[in-house]
A and B are shown apart, each in its own frame.
Chain A
Amino acid sequence: QVQLVQSGAEVKRPGASVKVSCKASGYSLAGHALHWVRQAPGQSLEWMGWINGGNGNTKCSQKFQGRVTFSRDTGANTAYMELSSLRSEDTALYYCARDNNDLLNGLLVDFMDVWGEGTTVTVSS
């Protein structure tokens, strides 16, 4: 059974860092990219970036440039998202999601087909 299992809830002070893990089972992390998406309370979804599970290349939204680091440990089949300089606006539910793709009319289209259960990060003084 393909699933992503995330680490538990975190409470951090402003200015601190948080590292969230996402362990893949039922498939190899190296075979797919992995997205990170967050959702503030009562808000929509916000894409943070992704990591190529094979070569470790990353891409992140400019909004998080300089504050977020994506990494993975293929031996542990686990990906990580670290967010630094936390502020109250970073309080959210953080999801990892597997990227999958399909070849349609010669073009590759991708989508997020498996999601973790989410990790709550609360930033409060």
Chain B
Amino acid sequence: DIQLTQSPSFLSASVGDRVTITCRASQDIANDVAWYQQNTGKAPKVLIYAASRLQTGVPSRFSGSGSGTEFTLTISSLQPEDFATYYCHQAHSYPRTFGQGTKVEVK
């Protein structure tokens, strides 16, 4: 199975901060990565797919990059509604797997 390791697991930040989350894959997964945001008690929501494609309706402050084994999700200016947990997910091979999550908390 492909392992996805996110860093950091927890991140304290303030509104307006630039935030970067990294996801490393245990093997080459091309650009088959999506990023999901999950607020407490809610279902996940897709932000980015194919490593860098912004899902329709997602604010442009979210961006993704990377290919192969290293990927990043960047929030250019953190907003109050962005305090949540973020997961990377690989759609390259079965079984599909998720990272362990990165919780973005208020500093």
Binding site for A on B (CB under 8 A): 31-32, 34, 36, 43-46, 49-50, 53, 55, 87, 89, 91, 94-101
In the complex, A109→B91 CA distance in Å?
A: 8
- B94 near A59 with CB under 8 A, answer yes
Which 4 A-B pairs have CB atoms at the shortest separation, nearest pair first? A111-B49, A115-B43, A61-B95, A47-B96
Q: Is A44 a contact of B99 with CB atoms below 8 Å? A: yes
Nearest A residue to B90 by beta-carbon distance? A47
User: In whole Å, how far is B26's beta carbon from the nearest beta carbon of chain A?
Assistant: 15
Chain B residues whose CB sits within 8 angstroms of the CB of A110 once the complex forms = 49, 91
CB-defined contacts of A62 to chain B, threshold 8 Å: 95
A-B contact pairs, 9 of them (CB 8 A): A44-B99, A45-B98, A47-B96, A49-B95, A104-B53, A109-B31, A109-B50, A111-B46, A113-B46
Binding site for B on A (CB under 8 A): 35, 37, 44-47, 49, 59, 61-63, 95, 97, 102, 104, 109-113, 115-118
* Chain A contacts for B98, CB-based, 8 A: 44-47
Contact of A109 among B45, B49, B87, B100 (CB under 8 A): B49
A102, B49: Cβ atoms closer than 8 Å: yes
Interchain nearest-CB distance for B37 vs A (Å): 11
By a CB distance below 8 angstroms, the chain B residues around A44 are 87, 98-101
Max chain A Cβ within 10 angstroms of own Cβ: one of B49, B96, B97? B96
Give Cα A104 to B45, complex, Å.
Answer: 21
